[in-house]
Amino acid sequence: MIETQEIETKLLDFLKREVFAPEVLVTSETDLVAAGFDSMSLVRLLLFIETDYGFWIPESEITGDALRNIRALASTIARLINER
């Protein structure tokens, strides 16, 4: 079992470091789209997950709910990993 918290910490670090501008305040509850998350951000995020967790998130799972914030995203990834 992989813990959601572990994924959340990793995602937060990645998104802060490589996706959002330094001046954007990002927490686990930040609304990603409102903070400027766009389609290229999504590509980078999917690649990060593929590189670190070894799978491509199925397109049917890339929903507004899953991308609501980092916590929701981590929860989706944890579920997908634990289902594998």
Partner 1 sequence: MNLTELLDTTAARWPKKVALIEESTVVSYAELAQRTLALAAKLQSLGITRGGRIGLAFPNGVGYVALTFALWRVNAVVVPIPMECTEAEIAELAAAMQLEGTLRQKPRGVCMAVAGDCFLTQLAPPSPPDNHGLNLAFIRFTSGTTSARKGVALGHETIRDRVLSANQAFRIGSDDTVIWCLPMAHHFLITIVLYLGAGATIVLARHVLARPFLEAINHWRGTVLYAAPFHFAMLARDNSGATVPSVRLAVSTTCALPAEVAEEFYQHYKIPLVQGLGVIEFGLVSLNTDDPRGRWNSVGRPAGGFRIQINDPDADGCGEVAVTGPGIFDAYVAPWIPREALLCGGWFPTGDIGRLDAEGFLFLLARKTAVINLAGRKVFPEEIEAVINRHPAVRESRVYGKPHAHLGEVVEVEIVLASPDANLDSVRAFCRDHLASYKIPTRFTVVSALPRTAVTGKIRRAAVVA
Contact yes or no for 70/15 (Cβ under 8 A): yes
User: Judged by CB under 8 A, which of 14, 16, 28, 33 binds partner 1?
Assistant: 33
Q: Least Å distance between CB 10 and partner 1?
A: 15
φ and ψ at residue 56, rounded to 5 degrees = -95, 125
The correct pick among 46, 53, 75, 79 for binding partner 1 (CB under 8 A) is 46
Which span sits near partner 1 by CB under 8 A: 2-10, 54-62, 73-81?
54-62
- What are the tokens at 27? 């927490």
Tokens 């686990």 locate to 28
